[in-house]
Amino acid sequence: MRFHQRSAFTLVELLVVIAIIGVLVGLLLPAVQAAREAARRMSCSNNFKQIGLATHNYHSAYNQLPQHMTGNTRTYTNDSTICNRLYISAQVGLTPFFEQQGLWEQISNPFDRNGDGVLAYPPDSPPMGPGPWQTYYPPWMTEIPMLRCPSDPGRGLPALGRCNYAVCVGDVIELVHSGGKNESGIYDGSVGIDTDEAAIRAGNGSNDSNRASAARSRNRGLFWVRHKTAFRDCLDGLSNTIAMGEIATILGGREIISEFILNGPDTVTTDPAACDQFVDPQRPQFWLTTATVGGGNQIRGGRWADGRIQYTAFQTIKPPNSLSCFRGGDASQGISSASSRHQGGAHVLMGDGAVRFITDSIESGNQAITPAHSGAESSFGLWGALGTRGSREIVSLEQ
C-alpha cells in the first residue's frame, strides 16, 4: 500500500484562509482606528493640561491672566507693519510658560525688518511685533506643537501658525470682540454697539462712560478682551468656569466646525439663530455653497497670535461643533463656537486647570433669544453658565 503526501493547499482551502483573514482585518481595523484616536485625544488633553499649568504659572508670576488682545496701541502708529494695535492674543503671553522661551525672546524684542542692524521705527517693529497678520514676521508664521490638537489634520497655508486652543470670552455677542475698547485703548462710543465692528478698529477720542458700562455688563467670560482679569474676578469658582476650549481648523471642505461666515445678517449680534439659514439642510455639517465663508488666511484658528474671536476666542452660546458667523469682516461682531475633530464634542480647560470633554448635546438653553447680560442668568443653560465668571450661577458638570 502506498501513501501520497500533499505538498500544497488546495484552491478552496486557500480561498477560505484569505476570507478569514479579510474578516479579521475588517473587524480589527475599526478597533485600531479607535485606539489611535483615543491616543490622539489623550495627547490633546495633555496639551491642554500643560496650557492650564502655564496659565496658572503666569498668574503666579503677574497676579493676572495673560491679557487677550494686547500689545502696542494705535496711538503709537497706524501702520500695522510696525505696530500691532492691541491685537496680540493671550497665547503669545503664555509662550515662555510652555517651553517656548526662544520664540518669546524674538517677540519681546525689537525686530530688524530690513536687516541693516539699526533698530529704528519706522521701518522696524518695536517689541511685541507688528500686526499678527503680517506674514513677513517669523514668529507669527511659526506653528507651535503645544497649540495643536493631534486629531486636527489641518496643516500649512493659507493659515499662518495654526492654533486649536481658544480663550473663552463669555456668553454674549455684543462688544466681546473688542472688550469695548478701540485700537487706542479707548472706550469709543462714536458708533452703536450693534454695528458691524462697533469701534474695534480706528479712533482715538476720549473715553465714553456709557460705552464702558455697556462693555462691562456684556463681557462676562474669564477673559475680557483688551482688559486685565485675574482669578479673583471669578466669583462662580474656577472649577465651574471655562477658561479655554478647542477650535477646529480649516480643511477646505466648507465644514461649519472649521469655517465661519463673513458678511452675515445684521441681526446676528442679537439673534444666535440668524445664521442657521446658511447651513445646508441636506448636509447639516456643511455650509451652503452660496454662503460667504472666510478665505485666504482669514480662517478659523489660522492665526495663533491674532486675538480676534474668529481666530483664538469663542463664546459659550451655541454648543460645541456648532456654526460660527459674523456680521462683517474678520474684525466684526458675531458668534464663535467651540469645535474639534474628536467624535461627539470638544475639550475645555476649566479655570482650576482641569480638562473636561463637553459633548455636543450639552444643555444650551434657548438658541432663539437675545443673550442676557448685566448680571442676569445666562440665556444658554448649563453651557452658557459655564462660560461666565461672576453671574452667581454655581453650576457643575457633575450635576
Q: What is the DSSP string of 274-293?
A: TTGGGB-SSSTTBB-TTS-B
**Three-state secondary-structure class, residue 158:** coil
Q: Give the span between the Cα atoms of 294 and 317, in whole angstroms.
A: 21
Q: Position of cell 474671536? A: 309
Averaged pLDDT for residues 365-382: 86
Burial class (CB within 10 angstroms; exposed 0-12, middle 13-18, buried 19+) of 339: buried
Q: What angle do CA 219, 220, 221 make, to 5 degrees?
A: 100
22-31, 261-270, 282-291: least confidently modelled range? 22-31
Report the DSSP beta bridge partners of residue 242.
350
In the DSSP assignment, the letter for residue 125 is B
Q: Is the pLDDT of residue 159 over 90?
A: no
Q: Is the pLDDT of residue 152 over 90?
A: no
Q: Give Cα 179 distance to the centre of its chain.
A: 16
Other residues' Cβ atoms within 10 Å of the Cβ of residue 143: 14
Total count of residues recorded for the chain: 399
Q: What percent of the chain has pLDDT over 70?
A: 94
Report the DSSP beta bridge partners of residue 335.
325
Q: Give the span between the Cα atoms of 129 and 126, in whole angstroms.
A: 6
Q: Is the pLDDT of residue 394 over 70?
A: no
pTM of the model: 0.86
Q: Strands of the chain (E only): list them.
A: 165-168, 242-246, 313-314, 325-326, 334-335, 345-350, 355-359
- Model pLDDT, residue 154: 79
Q: Is the pLDDT of residue 274 over 70?
A: yes
The H or E element spanning position 12 is: helix 11-62
Task: Tell me the average pLDDT of the chain.
Answer: 87
